[in-house]
Amino acid sequence: MIAIIDYGVGNLASVNKALRFIGFDSKITSDHVEILAADKVILPGVGAFADAMNSLEKTGMISVIKQVAEKGTPLLGICLGMQLLFDYSTEGGEKVGGLGLLKGSVNQFPLDMGLKVPHMGWNSLEIRQEKGIFSGVRQNSYVYFVHSYFVTAENASDVAAVCKYGIGFDAAVCRGNIIGTQFHPEKSGDVGLEILKNFALA
């Protein structure tokens, strides 16, 4: 079973619907025991970084997620969920600590680059890790983004794909069982469904 963590922040229903559409058993849950017993875990997220971390703390999910990671259970962070995997964010002008499962930071797109922020729409990926979630996915495939902040991974080896929107940014990451996509695979058509399938089969 794939557990989709419900901590009051995130587009849960669309992720659940996409997984069931491609034939995988998934469940939206806030139950710690269910999450720890799951075969795979997804951490979704939309909105502000600090609010999400506060919600994770209030629901007791921080320790649960860290246990999931330590057990080696495949863990996928989506959009804000990917950002939460990292050390900290500068959203709101202050340094807010994240889960620290991966080394790196989250920062806002420059507002003077002549492009609209948030970055919203379809952009192509330069895939750096052609196995794992990108197994069988074509180079330069298009996926769907909605975000004003982006991850800069400290370790280049963690970067699974990059994208360019005015500046280059890390669009997907993978280190062992810890995986993240800045884009929304559940909203990215057939390419996104293939990525979710690869995760579900990991």
Task: Return the HEC string of 15-81.
Answer: HHHHHHHCCCCEEEECCHHHHHHCCEEEECCCCCHHHHHHHHHHCCHHHHHHHHHHHCCCEEEECHH
Give yes or no: 34 in active site.
no
Q: How far apart are the C-alpha atoms of 150 and 61, rounded to whole Å?
A: 23
Q: Determine the distance from the C-alpha atom of residue 57 to the mean position of all C-alpha atoms in its chain, rounded to a whole number.
A: 18
Looking at 79, 91, 174, 194, which residue is catalytic? 79
CB 97 within 8 A of CB 140: no
- Residue 44, Ramachandran bin (φ over 0: left; ψ between -120 and 50: alpha; else beta): beta
Instruction: Provide the token pair at 32.
Output: 């710690």
- Does the annotation count 79 as an active-site position? yes
Is residue 184 part of the annotated active site? The answer reads: yes
Catalytic site residue from 147, 163, 184, 194: 184
Q: At what angle do helices 61-71 and 49-58 cross, to 10 degrees?
A: 90
Q: CB under 8 Å to 93, separation ≥6 — which residues?
A: none
Q: Which of 119, 147, 186, 194 is catalytic?
A: 186
- Separation between Cα atoms, residue 122 and residue 83, nearest integer Å: 19
Residues known to be catalytic: 79, 184, 186
